Amino acid sequence: MTTKVLQSNLTSSTLHLRSWDFGIGKGAGILIDILSYIFWDLPIYGILVAKGHDVWNPVDGSRWRLPPWDSRNPFICAFLSASPWQYTLKMECFVLVLTGISHPAFVFYQICGGWKKHAWIKEDCTIVDPNCSNPSERRHFMRFTNAIGFKGKFYALSLQGSTLAVIENIDSHLRITALGKKRAIPSDSSLHFRELMVESGEEVLLVFLISKASSNIVDSVEVYQLDVDKLTWNKMESLGDRTLFLGSYCCMSVSASKVGCKRNCVYHTHRSGDYGWWVYDLDKATISPS
């Protein structure tokens, strides 16, 4: 199997990755021949995860061995709590896999730091979403399909009520330790919206791609910044010098002045990828083809 790996010459001071796109025909960069690996989408730090094999840094070739994956567990997406590239003896790094169900709600493995067992550990969720508005879903425990790793913790959004959950390491075991009090939803009314989280400098941003008439067309964009102490989302009127790029499996924040792109904009694709790239200008509140 052959896959393209998106490669960048930007430094970590100008580029903040949530994920890279992988697959034939996606992105641009170097062709790498992989014979025995099935890739997961690992949405952080530009690292490949080979199912049942390795966490792999395609730049310098370093690897972290993973236990075999139990195919009976659903797989939605995987995240890292920190970059293993910056490993120190005191640092702990976890791989978190969301399942989209409540039993287990997520599966994790400790790559480095502290005591670890070479096995995936399952964690059930027995918490009912306090912000779920659908009566048929209120009797079900929380499920997660979206998250981000930030400063050693994970921040996940529930499927039922868009409630923020904090998942962190307690004695080498990942547990839900706190919940946000309010739903994470856009302020503008919509037929459909899609939410994406991206690390931008020292902040976690939540971006809503809002569709008002058709789910195939994005009509507006809203950006929120996470208050990690209060677990609330504060709407941003401007990104300043930053520009966000949001793909189907790839989100990143760049310094516009250092990279040379237009500032205070959000570039995005549609989920299907059939409509190309569009750009939302926060200064003008307009969307146009890129």
**Residue 261, SS3 per DSSP:** coil
Of the candidate ranges 4-18, 59-73, 82-96, 244-258, the one whose mean pLDDT is the lowest? 4-18
Instruction: Return d(Cα 180, Cα 130) in angstroms, integer.
Output: 9
- Give residue-wise pLDDT tens across range 63-74: 778 888 888 999
Mean pLDDT, to the nearest integer, of 205-222?
A: 89
User: Is the predicted pLDDT of residue 8 greater than 50, yes or no?
Assistant: no
Please name the residues in contact with 71: beta carbons below 8 A apart, sequence gap of 6 or more.
none
Percent over 70 (pLDDT), the chain: 74
User: Is the predicted pLDDT of residue 39 greater than 50, yes or no?
Assistant: no
Block residue for tokens 């390491």: 169
Higher pLDDT, 132 or 57: 132
Please name the residues in contact with 149: beta carbons below 8 A apart, sequence gap of 6 or more.
44, 79, 80, 81, 82, 96
**Residue 289, SS3 per DSSP:** strand
In this structure, what are the phi and psi dihedrals at residue 55, rounded to the nearest 5 degrees?
A: -95, 125
Domain positions in the chain are 186-290
b/e for 171-210, b at 16 or more Cβ within 10 A?
A: eeebebeebbeebbbbeeebeebbbbbbbbeebbbbbbbb
| CA distance from start to end of the chain | 31
**Residue 38, SS3 per DSSP:** coil
- Identify the pLDDT of residue 225: 97
Instruction: Return d(Cα 97, Cα 180) in angstroms, integer.
Output: 21
Quick count: other Cβ atoms within 10 Å of Cβ 248?
A: 17
User: Is the predicted pLDDT of residue 2 greater than 90, yes or no?
Assistant: no
CB of 131 closer than 8 Å to CB of 182: yes
User: Is the predicted pLDDT of residue 181 greater than 80, yes or no?
Assistant: yes
Sheet of 29-33, strand order: 22-23, 2-6, 29-33
Question: Using CB atoms within 10 A of its CB, is residue 11 exposed (0-12), middle (13-18) or buried (19+)?
Answer: exposed
pLDDT tier, 86 (very low <50, low <70, confident <90, very high otherwise)? low
Task: State whether the Cα torsion 90-110-147-261 is positive or negative.
Answer: positive
Higher pLDDT, 229 or 49: 229
User: Taking Cα atoms as reference points, which of 187, 218, 194 lies closest to residue 208?
Assistant: 194
The conformation of residue 259, written as its DSSP 8-state character, comes to H
Block residue for tokens 């929380």: 142
Of the candidate ranges 9-23, 56-70, 144-158, the one whose mean pLDDT is the lowest? 9-23
Higher pLDDT, 212 or 58: 212
